[in-house]
Amino acid sequence: MRISNIAPNSFTFTFLLRCFESFDSLEAGQVVHGHIVKLGFESSVFAKNTLMDFYAKCGGNLDSARKVFDEMPDRDVVSWNTMIGGYMIHGDQERALCLFEAMPERNVVTWNSVIAGLLKAGNMELARSVFKRMPEKNDVSWNTMISGCVKLSDIEAAIAVFDKMPEKSVISWTAMVSGYATIGDLQSARKMFDRIPAKNVVSWNALIAGYVNYHMFDEALSVFQHMLIDGNCKPNQTTLISILSACSHLGSHEHGKWIDSFIRKNKFDLSVPLGNALIDTFAKCGDMENAKAVFLRMAQRCIITWTTMISGLAVNGHCRDALELYEKMCLEGVEPDDVVFIAVLSACTHGGLLEEGKRVFDQMVTKFGIKPRIDHYGCMVDLLGRAGKFEEALSFIKSMHLEPNAVIWATLLSACKIHGNGELLDSLTRRILEQEPDNPSYLTLIMNLSSSIGRWQDALNFRRATRDKGIEKIPGCSSIQIGNSVHEFLAKDTKHSQRKEIYRVLGCLNGHLKLCEVE
């Protein structure tokens, strides 16, 4: 354009500065600044406003932005808003407020910008004070204040603003639902949700996400079903990702398959987050065939996709497949991170692949330069222990650059239990009790190993000590799916609706087992 002797206007510089802002290229922006001066656009308020905004956003060059502001012969309300917004974005409330007070004429954007900045900085009292002074409030003003209070977990302040709001929009209602959900008051969130006159997809997502975040997965699925029955709002990707999270936690295979079918039927784009959620759900339900099908359907994959798939294969016993997928990932040029290596080493541990595990661990350190975390060390100790290589495991622990924690020692103790090796019991028990003397899982492990090698008195002493301290092991939980219902079971469960029938059947089974022993 310059070679062709076509004169630029102020819009030309705006587009150039927006371009260089996206590249975070300060030097290129400074060159544009030189052209603005050289070509006589210094008096252009429009060009100077854009330049100021560029400096504020590109590397936080607030001094340069302020210099442009101070040198402007004329300023409009956008000039003041830009500079105030720049200060607020970078947390300089004092200078922002000084400019705000000095501003000759404020518009609603100015007020909203200051309120949002103060709330973002956690300055609730000052934000409330500015909000009260605001001569005319629009929908954005009220919603900014409500959302800010919600993010600061001040639900009472949010309610006070919400109640004073003359006309409530769906955004305001949704912000309140989200606020109650954030603090865990799902009952109030549901009541607020039910009062919304016209719900949108964000409203439904707020309630579903609230239930999922507080592990109320059945309730989340119920809300999702009501959303479909209601029919006024179609689920979006955010909805489906939340619901898939609920399905994976419940192990609800049927729901997972139904959502996969729903995605294909409604021609949803299988984005990376949605694909990852589907793979995770199928993997946790033990359906690696469908997990693999989703993996292959995905047009794009990220490191989380590969990790989820490798981990799923490992957990479900497809250990060599997990290793092959890791090799394929490396061949495709995807550089593994520390989390991928935990999944790969876990696969080696589950499959008893000792030599492969050693090779992968060495690759992680030497080829990819990843410093092992305690989790990586734990996988290797578990791998060596399961193979019965106790001396090598102890030597490996000594070579660690981190101090071994109770998990490391308990991992080795678990291997001793598998192999019936009681030689290390006393030393490992001492180390575990030094670090976590009241951990019920570790105490149970010590008792079980003592019993398995015939040290009954030691086991009894540990049981008494545990009981005297009031330490109880958190009971394990299992679940099965029958039809569309997921049933969860706990040891000594008294809450299941069919507990009497369940315990009667268990009693019959125990009786049959005793008869078998006699025979």
Partners of residue 488 on adjacent β-strands: 479
Residue percentage of the chain with pLDDT more than 90: 38
Name the phi and psi angles at 498, rounded to 5.
Answer: -115, 30
In tens, the pLDDT along 232-288 reads 899 999 999 999 999 988 888 888 999 999 999 998 989 999 999 999 999 999 999
Question: Which tokens sit at 126?
Answer: 């000052």
- Report how far residue 301's alpha carbon sits from residue 276's, in angstroms, rounded to the nearest whole number: 9
- Report how far residue 156's alpha carbon sits from residue 113's, in angstroms, rounded to the nearest whole number: 23
On the 0-12 / 13-18 / 19+ scale of CB atoms within 10 A, 80 is buried
Question: Which tokens sit at 316?
Answer: 């479900």
**Higher per-residue confidence, 418 vs 49:** 49
Q: Which residue has the tokens 């070679």?
A: 3
Q: DSSP strand E in 413-483: where?
A: 477-482
For CA atoms 45, 46, 51, 57, give the dihedral sign: positive
Q: In sequence order, what DSSP letters do the residues of 172-222 get, joined into one string? A: HHHHHHHHHHHTT-HHHHHHHHHH-SS--HHHHHHHHHHHHHTT-HHHHHH
- Report how far residue 32's alpha carbon sits from residue 348's, in angstroms, rounded to the nearest whole number: 57
Residues 6+ apart with CB under 8 A from 52: 65, 68, 69, 79, 82, 83, 86
Q: State the pLDDT at residue 447.
A: 82
Residues 6+ apart with CB under 8 A from 388: 415, 419, 421
Average pLDDT value for residue range 211-231: 92
Residues 6+ apart with CB under 8 A from 7: 39
In the predicted model, is pLDDT for residue 485 greater than 80?
Answer: no
